[in-house]
Amino acid sequence: MSTDYSVEAPVVAGRLTIAQIEELVAKPMDTKPDKKFYLALTISGSALLIGAVCLLYTFYYGIGMWGNNQPVGWGFGIVNFVFWVGIGHAGTLISAILFLLRQKWRTGIARFAEAMTIFAVMCAGIFPIIHTGRPWLAGYLTPYPNQHGLWVNFTSPLVWDVFAVSVYFTVSLVFWYTGLIPDFATLRDRTTSKIKKTIYSIFSLGWRHSSRHWLHYEKAYVILAGFATPLVLSVHTIVSFDFAVSIMPGWHTTIFPPYFVAGAIFSGFAMVVTVLVFVRKIFDLQNIITIDHLEKMNKVILATGMMVGYAYSMEFFIAWYSGVQFEQFAFLNRMLGPYAWAYWTMVSCNVIFPQFFWFKKIRRSIPAMIVIVLFVNVGMWFERFVIVVTSLHRDFLPSSWGMFTPTLYDFGILLGSFGLFFTLVILFTKALPVVSIAEVKAVADGAQPTHHRGEHHD
């Protein structure tokens, strides 16, 4: 297939009419779930249960059940937190930044990516709270007037984190729900079931598809996107401050904020591709989530993967250039020390494998991209493992050196977070429109008036 890059490919393939788009997207909600759905739900639900059991043990006996120790006080809890927050970033990038950049191809994937953001941030939010050891006291993290006369320390990155993640979750949820309202109205008007109609009526808030409303609605959407854009960049920046503001060798670097943000987008896009490849197949959405969209996402993965690779090498350069002995040791130790296997897993998964995306055939081949994005997911988890564990296990004093060995409970909770994520994703695919009906209708062929009479542009 030859491609003419001067002409934009149609966003919706297969010349679907507006009504056909609606039928296609609403189909999973109109039909009863099949056996495959229950099978998938059973698998993810089991993973979730394993995590829940491990968590209950942790709550009862304390986080001594985990591999955390002195000096590695931040183990899987923080690794998983940073990993899941990173996964969330792709959704906001697709829904907000690509919206501001007028990338029409985002419409097919935005809803799903936003949902993944919300679910990923839910998974992420669990970890710092359980990592405190007494999650039922998490309310102390908020500044409220209390009997102790105490306030939270607003100069601490950990408090910034509380604000950043909770604001990010709330804004993502509001953004997502705002986008869902017209779709709820559409579903309300097409359903024949009385119960569904009541539910959709409540959630649609009585939306009437009025043009006088659309005017403000579109404005609000631009405003939300305008705020979500710096917000998404701020969230992983602040997460990186948790590390960069400390004086630990390997953490105390100014490259962390951009490096973390690039890594977040990288891992997030990989997760979106991982899930979408299956969703478009299962729900027959190949014409709405087209191979072009996947190819564009693979290009983003290639670009951000190289940014991450650049950051890896720049960290080394600065360690050498700074002349700080501890910094130099920290990085040499990453490459050659006891956790070298984790480091090289990270480098090969994040830097080497995405290079295959230079080839168009691979970018457009579903099996090849599944393999590569899975590698990226693994690699990005290991990146956080390398940052957290290798920095902590060898700090300034050799007398306080140690090793970190995760326990079964660590792995159980990690598995449980994947279980939670995929359970939510699976329920979402059956309960809500996985593609924004209104937005995709608006970019379909012939959906918009021809402004200049007689002059067609598509």
Contacting residue, 127, 160, 339, 428, with other proteins by CB under 8 A: 160
- Minimum distance, C-beta of residue 165 to other proteins, in the bound complex (Å): 9
Region for 247 from its dihedrals, namely left if φ exceeds 0, alpha if ψ lies in -120 to 50, beta otherwise: alpha
The smaller minimum CB distance to other proteins, of residues 17 and 355, is found at 17
Contact 267, 261 (CB under 8 A): no
Question: Which x/- pattern, by CB under 8 A, does the window 217-256 give for other proteins?
Answer: xxxx--xx--xx-xx--x---x--x---------------
Q: Quick one: 2 or 211, whose CB is closer to other proteins?
A: 211
Contacting other proteins within 89-148 (CB under 8 A): 134, 136, 143
Of 28, 112, 217, 92, the residue nearest 440 (C-alpha): 112
Listed ranges 124-132, 203-211, 310-318, 382-390: which one lies at the site for other proteins (CB under 8 A): 203-211
- Residue 18 interacting with other proteins (CB under 8 A): yes
Min separation Cβ 219 and other proteins, Å: 4
**How far is it, in rounded angstroms, from Cα 358 to Cα 298?**
9
- Rounded to 5°, the CA angle 154-156-161 comes to 90
Ranges within 164-183 binding other proteins (CB under 8 A):
164, 167, 170-171, 174-175, 178, 182
Q: Counting contacts by CB under 8 A, is residue 357 touching other proteins?
A: no
b/e map 350-386, b = 16+ CB within 10 Å:
bbebbebbeeeebbebeebbeebbbbbbbbbbbbbbb
Residue from 35, 36, 102, 212 in contact with other proteins (CB under 8 A):
212
Q: Which one among 142, 146, 313, 448 touches other proteins, defined by CB under 8 A?
A: 448
Among 1, 4, 7, 19, binds other proteins (CB under 8 A): 19
Query: Please, what is the minimum distance in Å from the beta carbon of residue 314 to other proteins?
Result: 24
Measured between alpha carbons, how far is residue 301 from residues 96, 352, 376, 386, 391 in Å?
18, 12, 9, 21, 27
Residue with Cβ nearer other proteins (275 or 438): 438
Query: Pattern 415-444, binding to other proteins, x per CB under 8 A?
Result: ----------------------xxx-xx--
By CB under 8 A, the residues from 52 to 81 that bind other proteins are: 59-62
CB 143 → other proteins: shortest distance, Å? 7
What residues have CB less than 8 Å from 382, skipping those under 6 apart? 342, 345, 346, 349
Helix (H) / strand (E) containing 346: helix 340-347
Tokens read off for 374: 């899975």
Residue 451 binds other proteins, judged by CB under 8 A: yes
Minimum distance of other proteins from residue 387's CB (angstroms): 20
Nearest C-alpha neighbor of 369 from the set 300, 298, 308: 298
Residue with smaller CB distance to other proteins, 231 or 308: 231
Omega into 449 within 30° of 0, i.e. cis? no
